């Protein structure tokens, strides 16, 4: 990116709730300040007509579930210097990925009169389809984390996601440990950076940001089985589509 020219930035969405994009808008004055540093060429929550051509940076929220979305994702990848997965749907598959785990019972014919006309693709993270340069984790994202990554890129450096457990952020804020209260929580294995926002409301961590590479799943599952069944543990992992991340980390 040229230091004398504003980088052209796009924020686009596939299948998702668009919660991560609204989190960006919630930045308010900080977002307006950021727009003075970039050429925001596409962000449909602000204007509906995108600019054509290439991008220096593009953020992609959601997962492709339709043929046209797969085509669009591959097209935007070719037209972008840097592509960033925005939020859990993009980074891991998100809530809609639960369909994959229950494909034997979740079928189009249970809902639609003409199921053959319904596109029923397997839900995938976008990095399984195209090259992803960086990720903004979370469901929804932490908008301060989004700002951090953007400004690091504008400075010409490579951003990295924090590799520490949610438990760390929970403890430094003085929240009571739900595990010690006998409740199931994936905080010991989950990537932090969320400021333990769920734990602040006494809600268990479901690992929406994915899991730490060094997570010892044998010990974690053993500890959690004192509180819930192994089946319930895996159902917790299904909530945000991160169940298969655990199996990959053990290979």
pLDDT of residue 249 exceeding 70: no
Lowest mean per-residue pLDDT among 61-75, 100-114, 151-165: 100-114
What's the pLDDT score for residue 4?
62
Helical ranges in the chain per DSSP H: 19-25, 29-35, 67-78, 88-91, 98-101, 143-154, 166-172, 197-200, 217-224, 230-238, 243-249
- The answer as to whether 28 is a domain residue is yes
At 221 the pLDDT is: 85
What's the pLDDT at 115? 81
| Mean pLDDT of the 165-183 span | 94
Q: Alpha-carbon distance 241 to 222, whole Å? A: 22
Q: Which domain holds residue 189?
A: 166-249
Let me know whether 138 and 188 are in one domain.
no
Same domain, residue pair 198 and 226: yes
Select from 154, 188, 204 the last residue of a domain: 154
**pTM exceeding the 0.75 threshold for the entire prediction:** yes
Q: How many domains does the chain have?
A: 2
């Amino acid at each position: 990116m040229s230091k004398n020219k504003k980088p052209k930035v796009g924020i686009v969405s596939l299948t998702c709730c668009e919660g991560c994009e609204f989190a960006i808008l919630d930045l308010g004055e900080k977002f307006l300040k950021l727009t003075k540093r970039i050429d925001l060429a596409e962000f449909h929550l602000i204007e509906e007509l995108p600019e054509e051509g290439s991008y220096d940076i593009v953020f992609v929220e959601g997962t492709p579930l339709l043929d046209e979305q797969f085509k669009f994702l591959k097209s935007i990848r070719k037209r972008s210097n840097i592509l960033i997965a925005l939020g859990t749907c993009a980074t891991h598959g998100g809530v809609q990925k639960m369909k994959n785990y229950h494909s034997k019972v979740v079928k189009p014919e249970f809902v639609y009169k003409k199921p053959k006309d319904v596109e029923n693709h397997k839900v995938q993270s976008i990095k399984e389809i195209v090259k992803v340069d960086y990720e903004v984790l979370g469901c929804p994202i932490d908008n301060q984390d989004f700002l951090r990554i953007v400004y690091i890129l504008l400075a010409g450096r490579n951003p990295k996601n924090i590799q520490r457990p949610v438990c760390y952020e929970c403890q430094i804020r003085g929240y009571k440990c739900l595990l010690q209260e006998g409740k199931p929580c994936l905080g010991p294995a989950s990537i932090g950076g969320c400021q333990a926002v769920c734990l602040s409301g006494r809600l268990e961590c479901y690992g929406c940001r994915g899991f730490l590479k060094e997570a010892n799943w044998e010990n974690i599952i053993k500890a959690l089985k004192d509180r819930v069944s192994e089946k319930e543990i895996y159902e917790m992992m299904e909530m945000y589509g991160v169940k298969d991340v655990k199996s990959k980390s053990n290979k």
